[in-house]
Amino acid sequence: MTTRVILVRHGQSTYNAQQRIQGRLDHSVLTEQGKADAKLVAAALQDLPLDAIYSSPLQRARQTAEEIVAHLGSSLTIESPETLLEVDLPLWQGMLRKEVQTQFAQEYQVWKQQPEAFKMVISTPEGPKEHYPVLAMHEQAKRFWQDLLAKHQGQTVLVVAHNGINRCLLSTALNISPAYYQSILQSNCGISVLNFAGGWGEEAQLESMNLTNHLGVALPKFNKPEGIRLLLVRHGETQWNRDKRFQGVKDIPLNETGKEQGRKAGEFLKDVHLDFAVSSPLLRPKETAELILEAHPGVELQLNPLLAEISHGLWEGMLESEIEADYPGMLAEWQNSPETVQMPEGENLQQVWDRAIAAWSSILESAKPGTTGIVAAHDAINKAIVCHLFNLDPQYFWHFKQGNGAVTVIDYPYGAQSKPMLKCHNITSHLNSGILDRTAAGAL
């Protein structure tokens, strides 16, 4: 049974508004904006039955959870373990961000660029001690997951916490290194959805991350003049998706649902200024990209064959039951250890990784500073690209869901050579009224 965790960052706090470092300092409370946004989170969750609610004990998170519970009309008791406390920054908390950048310039650069190596020397009764905030948070996040997953197997749980601990909760669940702490955006009252196949240490999947459409914010701001933004889109539904047939490089067009998903994706992105667009040459992503570009008539669609879907070889056109009958045990291997599977007369995931990364790199290299583009491709290709952002190899293929017509936002804030930032993952809220991915998203 799948355990679903709805992860929410607290609403805007007084320290957020003042641009102060908060850490574990408990002086800040929700602003009126923060309270209003918490109500919007409740509205987004209203049709989703919850079995438990957890919150950080710090009042900005606790207030957010209380607002959500009140507007859901829930009778659940909010549990507040210390394993949901925010990152501990004792030398900075309470200071304005600009003050920290000036007074601790070198340390701040390490915090932003090498978070896994960032340390503070703090005084203890035993003498000075080196404190590594991000590494400590990763261990704290693991303890939280161990406890939650032991208690709530097969249930749906709401967790309301903070920017730092939420980043570490996502990272530890998905095997992402602490080095990428700054590469995961968590907006105030943003919603993320994680699915766990079993207990701690078993398979986890990021269904979506940092959804903000319920707040009236389609995409996070992009205001870095030297930055590059790439909007990664999976193609709309085909009949083979609906039937759960393996497609691979078979050139199956969009069905009517897929065309509607493409149109809705176009509506969702119509106010986003696009400078370029690249697609797999196969019909389903090409048609999806063309529907999006109807609102951007000056943008020419480029085709890159390296973005074509994984070749499933002899599996293409087959249902899972047919694959199991003809290749006993191989489908289970694909589902549990995908990196070990060589598709009969097709590809393996390392081959997909190599060409997906080559395509992504070429797109980045040709993008000019300050530009935004869409990349329309496929389930396996998109998963490989998202894994690549965090230096994850093919064994983590199933960690990142890709729904038909979904949009993922990836920024390179300081140009193509800078470390990427995942701003949003697998947005499907423009396709339905809820936060869950309800697309076919079946066989590849």
Is 309 a known active-site residue?
A: yes
Q: Which residues are within 8 A (CB) of 397 and not within 5 positions of it... i.e. 6 or more apart?
A: 338, 339, 349, 380, 383, 384, 387
Among 66, 309, 316, 347, the one annotated catalytic: 309
239 is an annotated ligand-binding site residue:
yes
Give the residue among 411, 444, 407, 410 at the shortest CA–CA distance from 429.
407
Q: Which amino acid is at 225?
A: P
348 is an annotated ligand-binding site residue:
no
Bridge partners of 160? 8, 55
Dist CA 285 CA 309 (whole Å): 10
Is 226 a known active-site residue?
A: no
86 is an annotated ligand-binding site residue:
no
Among 235, 296, 312, 425, the one annotated catalytic: 235
240 is an annotated ligand-binding site residue:
yes
Give the residue among 141, 150, 139 at the shortest CA–CA distance from 52.
150
- Four-CA torsion 303, 374, 298, 287, nearest 10 degrees: 60
Bridge partners of 412? 228
Give the residue among 95, 114, 25 at the shortest CA–CA distance from 61.
25
Own/partner long-range contacts of 382-388 (Cβ < 8 Å, ≥24 apart): 382/232, 382/234, 382/408, 384/349, 384/352, 384/353, 384/356, 384/357, 385/232, 385/356, 385/357, 385/360, 386/232, 386/410, 386/422, 386/425, 387/353, 388/353, 388/356, 388/357, 388/360
284 is an annotated ligand-binding site residue:
yes
241 is an annotated ligand-binding site residue:
yes
The binding site for substrate consists of: 234-241, 284
The residues assigned a catalytic role are 235, 309
The binding site consists of: 234-241, 284
